Amino acid sequence: MNKKIQLQDLGTKDFKDTWDYQETLFKAILETKIKNRREDAGLVTDNHFLFVEHPHVYTLGKSGDLSNLLLSESQLAEKGATFYKINRGGDITYHGPGQIVGYPILDLDNFFTDIHKYLRFLEEVIILTLAEYGLKTERSPGETGVWLDVGTPFARKICAMGVRASRWVTMHGFALNVNADLGYFDHIIPCGIRGKAVTTLNNELGVDSVDENEVKEKLLKYFSALFEADFV
């Protein structure tokens, strides 16, 4: 079992280019697994973790409802945003500047073969990280992601999640709103959930901005602890 994870921070990168790159890494792991199964090759599978910030983009999961996007093609262009229907779970979400996006591309055979546990661990990484900023965040029953004030009229999501898995290999991941422009969420029904707000870390802390590199360090600390993994 290989518990080393190759870490890359891609900086600001186009969503489609990043998606294509994810697919390349994802397929390489799958090919290794298939070769091992067919030939008993005994090859070690790689694990990857990508940090990235995307220019304004809306993405719709494979089970999502297009009506949750409230902009026309021309309005998207006016907002400087793009749109993609993609192969992760979940409905519609927004990515943009001020948001930390994490894409773990893992062979879960190296860790544990349980997608439910995997999603809960991703949520726990976020919950523990935000606790360091004095925020009490939690899960919302039946709604993947991380929230504040669950069960109240003030419930709001701070981190969205959506993953794809095949043969226990994962891709896509989480999007944590750190310093994001919340105005872009007004043009969708986030994750297809009506009547619930979205928030950011800097908004919750009442500050102009939060150091995103510091947040990334905390995310990696808890990811490493929960998955008993080493970043290289």
Amino acid at 117: K
Kindly state the tokens that stand for 102: 């994490």
Contact by Cβ (8 Å): 180, 96:
yes
Cα distance between residue 158 and residue 143, in whole Å: 12
- Residue 9, marked binder: no
- Residue 180, marked binder: no
Three-state SS for 172?
A: strand
- Residue 92, marked binder: yes
211, 129, 113, 141: CA torsion to nearest 10 = -120
- Residue 174, marked binder: yes
- Residue 175, marked binder: yes
Amino acid at 40: D
- Residue 90, marked binder: yes
Catalytic residue IDs: 191
CA max distance for the chain: 57
- Residue 88, marked binder: yes
Contact by Cβ (8 Å): 232, 5:
yes
151, 155, 160, 163: CA torsion to nearest 10 = 20
Q: What angle do CA 12, 67, 157 make, to 5 degrees?
A: 55
- Residue 95, marked binder: yes
- Residue 162, marked binder: yes
- Residue 91, marked binder: yes
Question: Which positions make up the binding site?
Answer: 88-95, 160-162, 173-175
Question: Which positions make up the binding site for substrate?
Answer: 88-95, 160-162, 173-175
